[in-house]
Amino acid sequence: MIEVDINKRIKTYKGWEDLRVKAQFDIGKVTQITGPSGAGKTTLLKMIAGLITPEKGMIKFKDTLWFDAERKFSKRIQERNVGFVFQDYALFPNMTVEKQLAYGTSDQAYIGQLLELGEMEVFRQHLPAQLSGGQQQRLAILRALSTKPDLLMMDESFSALDKELKSKLLAKLQALFLVQGTTVLLVTHDDEILDPSPAVFKMEA
């Protein structure tokens, strides 16, 4: 179980607001996080990853404490073993497709497996700038998986993929999640439907 009970003042287009989240997510499962824009979906993911510090509350992953405001404790990002697919992909402009994956793992066989999963083998030596939007998005997903994270966070990670590609990729990803026991938090638009439909956590604005 991932337990989240946090409080953070965030700046939205309406001014400063209090973001309060109290939730529990199942380990080894995919949870879809939905809600209108400005509800704090990205902020929630970043707080769980350790990229943003909440003002109050605590975050627990399985039995390990990741964050506790009262004790002023925050586990280092690097030690949380999370994978994060950023909305803007955050691909390293200086690294080829292969190098981006090699930055996360030295296991060549696994790199090959990831490239095959994302149908990116022919782009091994390409830089991000030479890839289309959909290819960049797939690379961002593969790169987040390169470290075999315990918890994968995906922020609107299928927005640039067409329907057919998306369902094909999702099926392959879900098989990989099962093998690696990955817990997945997936931020999507309100109306996005995933197949098979996972548990849904809805955030209110």
Q: Is 205 in the site for another protein (CB under 8 A)?
A: no
DSSP code at position 152: E
Question: Pattern of binders to another protein over 20-59, x per CB under 8 A?
Answer: --------------------------x--xxx--------
By CB under 8 A, name the one of 61, 66, 86, 123 that touches another protein. Answer: 86
Q: Is 142 in the site for another protein (CB under 8 A)?
A: no
**How far apart are the C-alpha atoms of 48 and 74, rounded to whole Å?**
10
How far from 125 is each of 4, 16, 101, 130, 172, CA to CA, in Å? 40, 45, 12, 10, 23
Q: Is 15 in the site for another protein (CB under 8 A)?
A: no
Q: Is 173 in the site for another protein (CB under 8 A)?
A: no
**How far apart are the C-alpha atoms of 60 and 196, rounded to whole Å?**
27
Q: Scan for tokens 């992909």, then name that residue.
A: 89
φ, ψ of residue 136 to 5 degrees: the values are -60, -40
* Cβ nearer to another protein, comparing 73 with 200: 73
Residue positions counted in the chain: 205
Q: Is 82 in the site for another protein (CB under 8 A)?
A: yes
By CB under 8 A, name the one of 26, 37, 55, 103 that touches another protein. Answer: 103
By CB under 8 A, name the one of 94, 129, 163, 197 that touches another protein. Answer: 94
By CB under 8 A, name the one of 18, 92, 108, 205 that touches another protein. Answer: 92
φ, ψ of residue 20 to 5 degrees: the values are -115, 125
Q: Is 61 in the site for another protein (CB under 8 A)?
A: no
Q: What is the identity of the amino acid at 185?
A: L
**How far apart are the C-alpha atoms of 19 and 131, rounded to whole Å?**
36
Under the rule (CB under 8 A), what is the footprint of another protein?
A: 46, 49-51, 77-84, 86, 88, 90, 92-94, 103-104, 143-144, 146-147, 149
